[in-house]
Structure 1
């Protein structure tokens, strides 16, 4: 990538990670810009973008003043890593509870069906205590995808907490499916704004898979009346529901598809019932499994195939403390 005649060899938004020939993008507004610029230049930065209003000190390398650092970061990452999101189906799993298991099940279903997929969790950035983790989330994802060029990845699952939605930009992210699990108990105006921001990034033909058991968020359905919605949960009117639940040796239940679903290939899936068996999960994860089944059906994974995949599945990560119900 060349900017103003200068060859760029990489992108960094942490001055400590700058290497020779990199462009450094300073996103913080905490008065640390002079120190960060000095460090980036010492490490060999070829160019610096900085989001600051005050006069900048003279620099040995070109410095560009910018208004929206997040937008510039995503645009440069997309260009440098050759638009890794192009033609990729992005699945957002949003909630404070249920996203870990749901995301893993979706990832497993797609990969076992031969659909190459990757998964990210916004909490991984927070646990790593990355400064401004939410702000830099998409840059990290794009960089990771860029490193996997040639792997022919067609699906990306992103587990999104409400905190990350409030702290990060969704530039360049067009979601094919948004899965709603369980949102915060105190679902206030800030949380509503964050979720609405996410829904605005749903593609024109995107689908929302909605948990009707999350009573605090039923009002969201009103804003989705012009969208394709697949509901799931224990509510008898849900598109996907469960019956005959048994957890004696493993999680057993009957998945009931109560209304027809059209998959991404245009095939109509008629109402049906089929048995599900998964080890190491309990009744509280039934909703997570139903959400994953809905995604599998949309992407053309037959019910019979999902039955086999679930029965053989191993290695699911148990919910972390922040996800305990």
Structure 2
């Protein structure tokens, strides 16, 4: 229980009807969860408008309503708070309700198109190995020190974020690494949080179903750095042309990393194999089990962030050499018949290009490179032909298939993809709508020393079709079929 006016600290309020001195139970933005004495925050969401459910929330026991426009009918005994932004209000309210938990640990936000999960997850691993109590808020999972919780969004809603940060406080967590998505920034889910630092990985084509233009997508990412306090650090990849854009209005201390440009943290790739990378990081050599030039950037981000958080250079180098790959990020195994199978989350043109170029840099070119790839339904359609163009140009064979078709017809998604295939590459491609069958086909096509890349879903253990989620794990399925074929 908490006094409403204390929960509203720092919220931009336009109007108040009723008393803010009332005691309330908890905050909810889902009207189905309302109980007696709760505060209901009406949010204009992408799918539905919470303002439609104000009456239902009151009927179910809400005693306070936070909304962007006051309803025509006002009830006696109910407090109404009109705010400029319900999303932002919810974030500040959640922060206040849970006692400003981000103030009690060092919170690092990682943003960018690709690499967020790898950088945040590996920083979690590294600081655990260094002996600290650590938290993680990522696409793959949420960790409160040693306890794992299921993640539902890249950046959870602000109530969930603050709830887990509060749990981390109770466990004595010192550092928390958090993926910060463009959706999360745009919807103010991180408002009110105190960040010790921010890391920018890169920016490429993604989420243009949500953001109208690439410039808007870039500026939303930049907003995260604009909001960092002057005591924080901002660490940015300046080989990306948008890397310096992130610094334009930040008050935070600026640090850079790069493979191609002069930077505070720089690396040179000395060796690149399926077994890992040999890097020269600043003046020190480092071996890592992570694979490919895109992971060289991730290693630099991890190295820089760890040093800025106070770890010693020699300890960082030692710990990085012990890090293990993140589930679904260039996760591979070699079958008994010497077929290499790689599962990767690459679901943007840039990520797919990075993975395929990495494989092509390492392989001898005497092997077939068979790529299984699809695109998600009800998402950015403009990237579909680009994904297919890259897959067909950089593979010896390509199987177009379903990803998460959601409410779209899978064959239509594949047709959109095929528009990007150049005429000379058509003979390399085939379409197998059923993803399981597509993976089986790739396994049947592969001979000794050949390489299969299954792209797009990575760590996901489901397929979403017409509103339902079905169990589906790329890594387990390819293992199963390759094992069958060698028996």
Q: Same fold (TM over 0.5)?
A: yes
Classify the secondary structure of the residue corresponding to 1:204.
coil
Matched, 1:208 2:234: yes
Shift of 1:293: 0.6
CA distance 1:104–1:237, shift in 2 (3 Å): same
Shift of 1:169: 5.0
Structure label with greater radius of gyration: 2
CA distance 1:145–1:56, shift in 2 (3 Å): farther
The C-alpha deviation readout for 1:169-189, integer Å capped at 9, x for no partner, is 542133322111111248843
Matched, 1:296 2:306: yes
Matched, 1:70 2:87: yes
Matched, 1:251 2:276: yes
CA distance 1:65–1:15, shift in 2 (3 Å): same
Q: Distance in 2 between matches of 1:196 and 1:181?
A: 12
Are the equivalent residues in 2 in contact too, given 1:253–1:275 (CA < 8 A)? yes
User: Could you tell me which residue of structure 2 aligns to residue 33 of structure 1?
Assistant: 51
User: Could you tell me which residue of structure 2 aligns to residue 194 of structure 1?
Assistant: 220
Shift of 1:14: 0.9
251, 256, 259: which one aligns with 1:234:
259
User: Could you tell me which residue of structure 1 aligns to residue 109 of structure 2?
Assistant: 92
CA distance 1:47–1:191, shift in 2 (3 Å): same
Shift of 1:250: 2.2
Are the equivalent residues in 2 in contact too, given 1:122–1:137 (CA < 8 A)? no
CA distance 1:253–1:242, shift in 2 (3 Å): farther
Q: Distance in 1 between matches of 2:201 and 2:312?
A: 23
Shift of 1:21: 3.5
User: Could you tell me which residue of structure 2 aligns to residue 267 of structure 1?
Assistant: none
Shift of 1:209: 1.3
Q: Distance in 1 between matches of 2:158 and 2:112?
A: 18
User: Could you tell me which residue of structure 2 aligns to residue 276 of structure 1?
Assistant: 287
Are the equivalent residues in 2 in contact too, given 1:174–1:201 (CA < 8 A)? no
Q: Distance in 2 between matches of 1:96 and 1:79?
A: 30
Classify the secondary structure of the residue corresponding to 1:102.
helix
169, 173, 187: which one aligns with 1:167:
187
Equivalences, count: 302
What RMSD in Å do the two structures reach over aligned CA positions?
A: 3.2
Normalised by the length of structure 2, the TM-score is 0.55
Matched, 1:150 2:161: no
Name structure 2 gaps, 5 residues minimum. Answer: 5-19, 143-150, 207-212, 330-344, 353-487
| 4+ runs deviating over 6 angstroms | 122-125
By relative contact order (CA 8 Å, sep 6+), the higher-ranking structure is: 1
